[in-house]
A and B are shown apart, each in its own frame.
Chain A
């Protein structure tokens, strides 16, 4: 089969590799029809993880089931399924509680497994023609009947829609709340959409990329252009000096200042400044326990200078971690089915798998207009 293979920093290529197959009786084999490039793929692309060369990337996957293992009951050949980026077993202490992003058995020693991701288990990614899905009965979301025509909407259920929604859940967004969201990338835009869905009174989205801020405005947010570094003051003024009720971090450890220099604590400390006293912050941007290739000395050790004094003084609280996609994907799929939301509005490019390498290059450089790429391997 053809697949996008990681060959080292900024070196990816579509290559012929051995077909994915059913390896265990609980597996399902999916022919991939849509698979996204995610901002977190770029951490690996840029060589900022310990991803091994030769592995297939891609954790935002959707396709058609073409084979099921002998122990699979629920999923049938021909089902159109969207796969949460998390790989879970369904029977460990965390999966039992709905915390499928922190499965204790699929990636022994670590909490949480994923497809095609550094340190998240041996599972190949889905930027390929075929994908092996472990514990298929548990991990597949069977899509509604309209899924073919709305495929670019439903594929967002694999990761970024639930992840954006998770940011608002971690932050505890309620109707009437004002919300400040750092990052107008795909996850930040999905968090914006989720906050609007939940009835937020005002949503501020902070970024330095004008094309992305324009999308946030389209979703009903107030765009805060931080290129001149005055974002904090603007938000404080618009919230009457109090700060927003809730804050969401949708950038992560490679966040940059206006000169595109990495300042790992920039968004976290700005959130402490722009969220009100007693407000809550949800952090879904990726942070890592060790980052040997970073410039910053603290960042190398997985640390940051966090304004804990102000955080404590303001009585703020925080929720962190990757989304448990299965906790939300079924409900969010109904919003797509009933035309309440159309998450594909952020898609800038739909490309065949063969164009994946150049898509990575353009997306990595944050080229104007490259907000979200959906690859179509089956085309």
Chain B
């Protein structure tokens, strides 16, 4: 059975992740300013890490190789991968922290800043160039969506996440 894919194309699907994660980062910063309990902040941090892990994985498995083949700009794609690697290292560091760690705020903020910069470049360079290329972005939305659903189902749910 095939899933119904609500996204018009791969760019819409991937950027919906960007927007969702941006909202989470703003929420996290707000919690810091409001001196929220560690458990509340931890839940948001874990949610961010989970969303970004799945997002970077589907991009690297499906979207980036397809784009690389079409736009012929290896430098651009290598840079995107390097930024992913930096983000993944930060995610691993955050996931490895104890819930009450004092380092979490600084690491989440650092991750947020890195993601902001990566998203801006991705939108202005990779997305724009792929949209102006012969790449079948509508078709690509299907495997991206299916893979994302599968990975999200398999990802461990944070224990203290609020509904």
Q: Chain A: residues with CB nearer than 8 A to chain B?
A: 24, 50, 52, 105-110, 119, 121-122, 290, 292, 297, 300-302
Contacts and interface: CB of A to CB of B under 8 A. Distances in A.
Given A107-B123, A109-B123, A121-B124, A24 B26 contact: no
A91 to B, nearest CB: 12
B33 A109 contact: no
A119 B127 contact: no
Given A107-B123, A119-B120, A301-B30, 19 more contacts: A52-B120, A105-B131, A106-B128, A107-B124, A107-B128, A108-B123, A108-B131, A109-B11, A109-B15, A109-B19, A109-B119, A110-B123, A121-B128, A292-B29, A297-B33, A300-B29, A300-B30, A300-B33, A301-B26
12 contacts: A106-B128, A107-B123, A107-B124, A107-B128, A108-B11, A108-B131, A119-B120, A121-B128, A290-B26, A297-B33, A300-B33, A301-B26
Contact of B124 (A122, A290, A301): A122
Contacts of A106: 128
B132 interface: yes
B18 interface: yes
A300 B131 CA distance: 33
- Which secondary structure dominates where chain A touches chain B? loop
A109 B119 CA distance: 9
Interface in B101-143: 116, 119-120, 123-125, 127-128, 131-132
A300 B30 CA distance: 9
Nearest to A303: B30
Interface residues of B, number: 19
Contact of B29 (A105, A110, A122, A301): A301
Find the residue from A24, A109, A297, A302 having the highest chain B CB count within 10 A. Answer: A109
A300 B28 CA distance: 12
Contacts of B124: 107, 121-122
Interface in B19-37: 19, 22, 26, 29-30, 33
B101 to A, nearest CB: 23
Interface in B48-101: none
B16 to A, nearest CB: 9
B116 to A, nearest CB: 7
A52 B124 CA distance: 12
A98 B111 CA distance: 38
B128 A50 contact: no
Contacts of A302: 26
Nearest to A297: B33
Nearest to A119: B120
A213 B125 CA distance: 44
A121 B125 CA distance: 9
A52 B19 CA distance: 20
Contacts of B29: 292, 300-301
Which 4 A-B residue pairings sit nearest by Cβ, starting from the closest?
A108-B127, A109-B15, A122-B124, A109-B123
Contacts of A119: 120
B8 to A, nearest CB: 10
Given A50-B120, A110-B123, A297-B33, A122 B128 contact: yes
Contacts of A121: 124, 128
